[in-house]
Chain A
Amino acid sequence: MKIFSESHKTVFVVDHCPYMAESCRQHVEFDMLVKNRTQGIIPLAPISKSLWTCSVESSMEYCRIMYDIFPFKKLVNFIVSDSGAHVLNSWTQEDQNLQELMAALAAVGPPNPRADPECCSILHGLVAAVETLCKITEYQHEARTLLMENAERVGNRGRIICITNAKSDSHVRMLEDCVQETIHEHNKLAANSDHLMQIQKCELVLIHTYPVGEDSLVSDRTKKELSPVLTSEVHSVRAGRHLATKLNILVQQHFDLASTTITNIPMKEEQHANTSANYDVELLHHKDAHVDFLKSGDNHLSGSSREGSFKETITLKWCTPRTNNIELHYCTGAYRISPVDVNSRPSSCLTNFLLNDPRYKIDGSLEIPLERAKDQLEKHTRYWPMIISQTTIFNMQAVVPLASVIVKESLTEEDVLNCQKTIYNLVDMERKNDPLPISTVGTRGKGPKRDEQYRIMWNELETLVRAHINNSEKHQRVLECLMACRSKPPEEEERKKRGRKREDKEDKSEKAVKDYEQEKSWQDSERLKGILERGKEELAEAEIIKDSPDSPEPPNKKPLVEMDETPPVEKSKGPVSLLSLWSNRINTANSRKHQEFAGRLNSVNNRAELYQHLKEENGMETTENGKASRQ
């Protein structure tokens, strides 16, 4: 159905002239005696509805079904006509509900049978109906504004449903002529107006209603084109339930509805709570719901539904749903429904089962929430390792308090405090030499050493925090805390020693952090990989050191003080141990830094003879060292 088809605007024009106060002559027993009542009471006399009551309740039922199935974009304007036209509501969406209409109808009240019939006419209402059809609805306005220069594509069509008591076929003709003429006139007016629209198509549905038992003075007539703009059809219907049935058929035709009857729904009996009986409930909905069904050739069409509705109903057997709502089912369509018999017990039992408990709505903020959601995704994915073995910090429970808040747009003082606590806690872990969950997959041996593990962890944490420093000044403070606390990064000098290749990597990964907004996040993991590779390389270097005494010093290992005290090893004996090599190197290095002690230089087998000059002075008397001192 097009948005702006005839069904976009429906005008009800209901006759409020004195003769509508007449009885429809269909009696309703309302004083139904309940069982076990005192004998001998005569029930109150049945009452009957007026033509007016029948017309109003049938039109309300039409609106009820329409609003249920089309809560938006299908609008009703309700007009009653007597000595003038009373327009009960407007096209605005707020006016489109049963409560509004019922209240307005109550204010109008039933027709006054003693009013002067000469002053009253349905024509006032019909003229007002045409007028109101020219008025633009908010949906039309919106569409026109959106289409700009194509605004003329927005159609203005509508339907007038007029319920009246006509005197004759020629009276009906007169009403049709009046509508046609009025459309002609108003279209001229609308052509020169910005806030009115010309009527392109109008469907007039004239319903002549009369008391049961009387002869109709008006004959039925199927839809006929009176002009390119106006079509008209005439229905002559007895009042009472016949009128209601007619309007039920019409609402189905006008809004392309179809009927489905759900059968065999088990319901608990009010009287006997332990037993359940099966009931059927008939529902109306858009007929698209049946399209695939009919295509499959497997139609469950049953005979005409109760109460002689004009259409077939498709019967479906009730299937109590499983309470598993975590599964997605393939669904090609979902349709709004309206129960045919809304307040029958089985209908209300079914609808109450299907309706969930009232729940509440999320408050909308000024900003578009969906944009905020996207923004949040952007923040959360600034640093996101794809592989669990490539991350340390996201494998650490201890990091969670920081990682969960740092992605926020803004931090509270408490958040900052928690982040700082997290960092202190990590420092503490490092001091205690706690193990870290660093994956050894893909690395040879046991993986990086403990201090190297911490270096990787600190680097990763820094990457995470740096990705968010522009969020707020408090984020900046978290980074400052991190930088102050983390174990010192390697000295600049030593970094240089690590060679050109590694430098490149370092630069690249640092750039990735700076340009996180432009760069794909892979580069973060690239950086991480870089860190790991570096770890591996260093490990490999350590191995190289074992083999070749000429390798440069390992960057991290500063000569330890204790080394000076290790006893020198004999150079000449057998294969050289790493320790001796090491000591040698250290000694060599140290030796360059000071002038060697003269005694050591002249020593034989590490023994230097003291007081040699005395020996020279005294000739060859003293042969043993030391003796001379005792002299």
Chain B
Amino acid sequence: MPTVVVMDVSLSMTRPVSIEGSEEYQRKHLAAHGLTMLFEHMATNYKLEFTALVVFSSLWELMVPFTRDYNTLQEALSNMDDYDKTCLESALVGVCNIVQQEWGGAIPCQVVLVTDGCLGIGRGSLRHSLATHNQRSESNRFPLPFPFPSKLYIMCMANLEELQSTDSLDCLERLIDLNNGEGQIFTIDGPLCLKNVQSMFGKLIDLAYTPFHAVLKCGHLTADVQVFPRPEPFVIDEEIDPIPKVINTDLEIVGFIDIADISSPPVLSRHLVLPIALNKEGDEVGTGITDDNEDENSANQIAGKIPNFCVLLHGSLKVEGMVAIVQLGPEWHGMLYSQADSKKKSNLMMSLFEPGPEPLPWLGKMVQLGPISDAKENPYGEDDNKSPFPLQPKNKRSYAQNVTVWIKPSGLQTDVQKILRNARKLPEKTQTFYKELNRLRKAALAFGFLDLLKGVADMLERECTLLPDTAHPDAAFQLTHAAQQLKLASTGTSEYAGYDHNITPLQTDFSGSSAERI
């Protein structure tokens, strides 16, 4: 997920830090030192991620738009001027704009705010912003919570005692609260010095920027991979199951399924699956640039020569038009697939389904999916011309089962007219006539709408009198029979008004009897 670094360049950041026996440092130098460490870490472990740098005082400026070029970011750090006072709200509005413009509202984004805990004075100061928080209209709404999924990390170039001596810490905590608790405040442990700044940024890296390494397995085939961006823990149900679920570091492929069968399922998140090389000692060599370029290159060269399961898997999925179902944890699955980047380039990707035994209803329960060879006959047919998916639900939904709804008069009228239309085409339409009649009868009985049964009976009797001379004699018999049965049902007596009872056509045999008479 992209990162926006928001750096305080107000005058207070130039306050000196006393370090015995060395040249004078300012807080901004400490900040730059910490950020350098972060950028170096990202260049190594997160080289695919985009990072932007914003500086702010009473105004804000986008120093480096989203980039993967950490050198540019590093250079910008050393080219920062000093400005006037801190005005956090406008900077956060700026962050909102920058992120929404680049990523929209659905991509999660991390915001790293670097400040010294001096929150400005007067209008635009954080105290002022928070004091007026409840008097906002929609047009000047406070930028938090961010209008995109986010984490707000506040890196304070100050230690806890210093922040607690004023209300700074409280104000910053309010900020995190306003972001729905998404984020954390980091302060320097002990005296302000390079070492302690490093350890503070080290904590941030541990929390938010540790790469996710996993072993991808398929039977005996395995590959070491980095899953990028890191899959975040997921909470299924706050009440019953409040512990966030984390995905396994062993990603085991359990089977393969056609793309057409899985058909663009909903996913929680998408990740690149990148093979990584492990050297002899078992340390990971990394996919990024390290200080020791030679070592890394040779390691990568070696890695490039070793057959990798990721390559086999990606190629196979692409060619076969399939996805691999992968087990992420107990009752948690995802899919691996080939995603085309452009016409020529495609990547192995992993998407996470929602945890649960049945994330995709049209596939049924995940544990019930099994090898084709176990089925008595191939569910895909001998010519691969059919598919067992989507599964039909045990109970059909209302729109698939021809339910009767008479809330609107038109619903009732349509049903009555269907009966009438078929009544006029008796005896050809005898089956449909009785089918519609029974449907109406059932609904009327369930709704206790017995007047309707009487009404339809009357209508059928009238139809009987209106039959033309050319009509088949059976028509009159069936109409009279049906009307009589409906009338009986409308009495509500159990003998005739049983819900499961069906009116069956009257048994007549005109051909037989007339032939005998002749």
Contacts and interface: CB of A to CB of B under 8 A. Distances in A.
Contacts of A520: 220, 222
A44 B458 contact: yes
B407 interface: yes
Nearest to B105: A295
A57 B405 contact: yes
A48 B394 CA distance: 36
Q: Report the interface size class on chain B.
A: 35 or more
Interface in B397-452: 397-414, 416-417, 420-421, 442-443, 445-452
A297 B96 CA distance: 14
A359 interface: yes
B285 interface: no
B386 A325 contact: no
A32 B106 CA distance: 53
Contacts of A408: 373
A68 B239 contact: no
A90 interface: no
A516 B265 CA distance: 36
A154 B240 CA distance: 6
A359 B391 contact: yes
A355 B379 CA distance: 19
Contacts of B497: 106, 109
A322 interface: no
Contact of A102 (B239, B263, B446): B446
A241 B407 CA distance: 6
Interface string A330-359: 111110101101111001100100011011
A105 interface: yes
A342 B405 contact: yes
B399 A68 contact: yes
Contact of A359 (B220, B267, B368, B388): B388
A598 interface: no
Nearest to B360: A334
Contacts of A227: none
A28 B409 contact: yes
Contacts of B307: 386-387, 522, 525
A44 B460 CA distance: 11
B447 A105 contact: yes
Interface in B262-295: 262-267, 270
A382 B366 contact: no
B456 to A, nearest CB: 7
Q: Report the interface size class on chain A.
A: 35 or more
Contacts of A348: 399
* Interface-central residue, B219, B388, B452, by most chain A CB under 10 Å: B219
Contacts of A360: 379, 388, 392
B104 interface: yes
A68 B403 CA distance: 12
Given A351-B399, A351-B400, A386-B312, A370 B220 contact: no
B375 interface: yes
Contact of B369 (A110, A359, A363, A373): A373
Nearest to B255: A373
A381 interface: yes
B104 to A, nearest CB: 7
Given A328-B323, A359-B386, A382-B220, A376 B398 contact: no
Interface string B314-337: 000000010100000000000001
B12 to A, nearest CB: 36
A379 B220 CA distance: 8
A28 B393 CA distance: 35
B220 A378 contact: yes
A363 B376 contact: yes
A2 B368 contact: no
Given A31-B416, A61-B405, A351-B400, A110 B450 contact: yes
A98 B420 CA distance: 27
B499 interface: yes
B405 A370 contact: no
Contacts of B412: 28, 30
A2 B238 contact: yes
Interface in A8-41: 28-32, 34, 38, 41
A57 B406 contact: yes
A112 to B, nearest CB: 9
B389 interface: yes
B405 A64 contact: yes
A61 B407 contact: yes
A330 B407 CA distance: 39
Contacts of A28: 406, 409, 412
Contacts of B420: 34
B370 interface: yes
B239 A3 contact: yes
B449 A53 contact: yes
A384 interface: yes
B458 A143 contact: no
Contacts of B264: 327-331
Contact of B446 (A96, A103, A381): A103
Nearest to B421: A34
B106 A328 contact: no
A374 interface: yes
Contacts of A370: 254-255, 366-370
A181 interface: no
Contacts of A358: 392
Contact of A361 (B267, B321, B364): B364
B219 A332 contact: no
B367 A333 contact: no
A516 B404 contact: no
A244 interface: yes
B233 interface: no
B260 interface: yes
11 contacts: A2-B238, A31-B459, A41-B462, A101-B446, A154-B240, A296-B106, A328-B339, A358-B392, A362-B370, A377-B219, A386-B309
Interface of B: 104-106, 147-148, 218-222, 237-240, 252-255, 259-260, 262-267, 270, 307-309, 312, 321, 323, 337, 339, 364, 366-371, 373-376, 379, 386-393, 395, 397-414, 416-417, 420-421, 442-443, 445-452, 455-456, 458-459, 462, 466, 492, 497-500
Given A30-B452, A155-B239, 18 more contacts: A2-B239, A34-B417, A49-B449, A57-B407, A106-B499, A110-B492, A244-B407, A325-B259, A327-B264, A334-B266, A338-B397, A339-B399, A342-B398, A370-B255, A373-B370, A377-B254, A382-B219, A520-B220
